[in-house]
Each structure stands twice: as structure tokens, then as C-alpha cells.
Amino acid sequence: MAEDTQRKKVTRLFDVRLVIGGLFTIYGVIVTLVGLFDTQSEIDKAQGVRINLWMGLGMLALGLLMLLWLRLNPLPTPEPGAEEAEEKADARPSD
């Protein structure tokens, strides 16, 4: 049972949704915080739009959606030895 839990953790660790979601969430928090404390000159440079705030919120939303997707639809855990059986099935005798 412990081996099955370990295999699930390793499978989930290499899911690209975790990496993308984690990075977008972290950067989204940082950019949102920067956007909350923008000075008036920075807002004027962006023609009156609080671009850091809006982009930070967008990045945060995307990151959280990726993590939610990972949580709701995890990768199936491969069975032990499934790769070897698949390789044997693909191997064809030479004529």
C-alpha cells in the first residue's frame, strides 16, 4: 500500500499542470501585490490602467484554475510492470 501511495506522488510530481499552476499562482500573487502599491506615475505610464493589478489577478486566476484542474482530474497511476508488458506487445518478431 505504501508503494502505491509513493507511485501516485511521483506521478503527480511530474504533471506539467502542477508546475504551470504553481508558477502562475506565485507570480500572480507577487504582481498583484506590486499592482496594489503602484504609484500615480506608474499608472500614468500605462495610460491610466492599473496593469500590474489586472495582470496579477489574471495570472492568479490562471494558476488557480490549473491547480483546480489537476485536483479534479489527476493523472492515472500506471500499474507496476505495465511499461514492460507494453514493450513486449509492441515487439514484433523479425521475418
Q: How far apart are CA 36 and CA 20, in angstroms?
A: 24
Instruction: Please give the residue that has the higher pLDDT: either 8 or 44.
Output: 44
Quick check: is 81 in a domain?
no
Residue 22 confidence (pLDDT) above 70: yes
Angle at 21 between CA 28 and CA 37, to 5 degrees: 5
Percent of the chain with pLDDT strictly greater than 90: 55
Quick check: is 31 in a domain?
yes
Quick check: is 23 in a domain?
yes
Confidence at residue 15, expressed as pLDDT on a 0 to 100 scale: 82
Residue 95 confidence (pLDDT) above 60: no
Helices (H), 1-95: 2-13, 16-36, 40-45, 51-72, 82-90
The structure's pTM equals 0.69
Quick check: is 91 in a domain?
no
Quick check: is 84 in a domain?
no
Arithmetic mean of pLDDT, 27-55: 95
Domain that holds residue 62: 15-71
Query: How many domains is the chain built from?
Result: 1
